Structure formats: structure tokens, C-alpha cells
Structure 1
Amino acid sequence: MDRRRTLKYLAAGTALTGFLFTSCADDKKYQVAGVPKKAKNPFGYGRTPEELERDKNLSERSFFTSDEAALINVLADIIIPADEEYGAATDTDVFTFIDFMALDRPDFQIPLRGGLQWINQESRRRFNKEFVNISESQQIEIVEDIAYPFDAEPAFTQGARFFSILRDLVACGYFSSKEGIEYIGYMGNTPHVWDGVPQEVLDEHGLAYDQKTLDECVDQSKRNETMDWSGYEL
């Protein structure tokens, strides 16, 4: 199974969607100071005024240096590469999400920055170049040693711990983007169309719908009409 498909199943099977896919609130109580009353929430989700102000301040700052950003982008595209249909992680600007999270959650800062330093030190040790300047096959060689934390050798423990954190952040950033949501087929609170119990099941049990139920409950042309239960016995 390829890496992108594995990530798709992991994202679809966790609480990630419930955590990330929240609704947009335009109510005046969610206004940021200086933002016109009728302007949409710039962050796309419901927040208290204090949270909005804090998010606004964080979004105007950056934690990582430009060199660190370049390294994160290379690693992000190794974690979620492009395929014939969808772009790579960097095509959804996951770095901006990761940078924001490093500011929002300071406990990420030391593991992430230390991990980036570890990656470059390991790259220089093996190939006398920093990670972004080595070949793709050389990059994968290093990543393979830290991508599976339970199998990583003791010498790679720090790198494996860092890579696990980064992989989670890349997946969160990617699968909460418009492209990532489309990729996993997330439809949100979309109502399903019910067209009744399959006929073969009804036949198996010797059952059948009466015409009133067919007309009022199964006929999709009437799905928006209120059911009239006056002819039924309870």
C-alpha cells in the first residue's frame, strides 16, 4: 500500500475530522478588534473574541527560520508526496499550519527545532551536506531509519520521535485543507437518501410496503414534505 493511501485511511479512521472540521461563525460576538462587523471570521471557525485575537497575533508571527521552513517542506513532501491526481503536502501550504502550531503549542518548539537539527547533523555525517542538498534517494535513506519508531535503532531514537511529531502535524495540516478533505472523501453533515429496505430483503421476510408508506416515506420527490401519520395506528 502506498504512503498516501495509508495516510488517507489513518485520517478517515480517527477523530481528526471531528477536531479539525469546525464551522465558521460570522456572529458579531466573534469579531476581532479592527475587523469590520460584517467581515467573515478570517480563521474559518467559531472562536471567542479572546481566542480570535490570540490567533490573529500568532498568525502574524513566525517561529521557524527560512532554512528550517525549507527543510520542513522537503520532509512534508516525503511524508505526503504528489500523485497522479493530487498535489503534495506543500501544495496545500502545510508549513503555515505547522508554523502556527509551533507558536500555539510551545511544547512543540524544542522537539521540532531539535529534530530539524538532528536531521541535518545526520545528513552531514553521512553525506557531508545538509538534508535539503542531498539526493532524493539519500533523503529517503535517512527517513527510512526514523519513520518507524518501534523499529528504530537506539541511535535514531531522537530522530524517530521528531519524525512522528512532524508526520502527525503534516497529516493534520494536509487533511484539514480543501484538497485533503476532498482526498479522504469527507462530506460533512450531508443527509443520506433513504430509498427503503431492498426488495430482496422484503421478499425474504415476506414483507411489503403499503402504498401510503411508499408515497410518503420512500418517494424521494416528496422527501421535503412532512409525514402525515393520521392514517396509522400506534
Structure 2
Amino acid sequence: MPADGPTILATSMGFNRARAPWQPSPIFQYAFELARVASRPRLCFLSTGTGDRPTSIEAFHAAFATSGVATSHVSLFDKPNISDLSEHLNNQDVVWIDRGSVVNLLAVWRAHGLDRILRDCWERGVVLGGESAGSLCWFQAGTTDSYGEVQPFDNGLGFLPFANAVHHRDRREQFHEYLASGPVSIGYATDAGAGLHFSGTELVAAVSDRKGAGAYKVSRGLDGEIVEDALVVDQLRR
């Protein structure tokens, strides 16, 4: 069954990559519950932002090897590994986007029509989620280190009509500067280990997989002053 409505999990978490195999965050179980799947959830992994790094794809599958999760992945380098991307992605319960370069990810997706396919998935109730670049991509704009130094970008998919920042503890100043002068006046941000749950375009929850991970709403007031409000964050159980 699909989720109750369009659902996005925009996070700064995903896997404990220091473990071998990777240890999945409890955000995945949270996603499966939102997808209303009782058994054998279908989870597809896209790592376009890293150029479809083979070691990441292998580590993703290994992370769920004994879990009962039906894993798959979509590679676009050097050509798609699946002939009908729309059919495959629309048949998933959860689609998870890995970290990497959001700028490169968006360009490659648009070249292959994934921007339209993923919007269709979202509207049909496939739960969309991701970490870092996999969080930024769903928003209209945000800040990224895809160019080297942290800079703004304003050509996100725009499913969520806000700005977004990940790794916020390290990039707060740049995000505030962008919102102070940019075309988008409302944004959301997460520290490492935190995530945002959107139903449609409404924020319904902030969650974390560790203590002390914060999430924030950041906005520009009528006087131009930036106001940052800490959100109530629920820690997920492992």
C-alpha cells in the first residue's frame, strides 16, 4: 500500500558507515511504517550524487542482506541499469537517495527524466527520502558544498517550496546569509543525525537517530532579520 499521501523524509542520516556491513538508521523502519508495508518492503537506492560508486551500492545491499527488505538500486552511469525507470521506481515502497553532489545529481536526473518520474512517485504515495544531497534535492533551494566551498543553489526539484540546509551546525552562517538576501525566505535545516518528515508540503515531524541532533525552521522576517527556531525532535528507537 502507498503512504497516505505525498511523503518526503529529508535527513542528515542514513547509515553508520563505520560498521561493516553498514548499519541502517532507524529512519528506514520509520519510512516503511509510513509506506504502510507489513512485510518485505521494497527499497530502492539511488547514489547518482557519487557517480553511482560501486562500493556504496554494494554496501547498501549488504546492509539489508539479512533483514527481509527487498533491495534494488538505480544506476545511471554509464547508462541506466534498468530499462523502464518509471515502472521500477513507481513499484517501490521507499526510494532512498544517497549523499554526494546535489548539483551533479540534479543535472543527471533531468537528463534522464527522473525529475518527472520522482514527482509521479511522490504524488502516488511512494515514500521519498535521503541523506544530505538526498535531502537537499527535494527543495526549491538551499546551500551545498557541491562547488567546493558552501554556496547556494536554487534549482532543486521544488517538491517542497522552501530552502534546505544539511550539516547545519557547520553551515549555519551560510544558510542565514542565503535566506537574508535570497528569493526564498523560509527554510528548514538539520544537524547530522536529524531528519524532517513532510506530508505534502507540510512539516509534520522532526526526528533523530541520536541524542543532541537538532532540526530547525529558519525564516526571514518583515524587517529582514533571520529568526531560527529549534523544532521539537523525537528520537527514533532502534
> TM-score under structure 2 normalisation?
0.24
Q: Which has the higher helix share?
A: 1
Q: Which structure's CA Rg is the greater one?
A: 1
Q: Between the two structures, name the one with larger relative contact order (CA 8 Å, sep ≥ 6).
A: 2
> TM-score under structure 1 normalisation?
0.24
Q: Which has the higher strand share?
A: 2
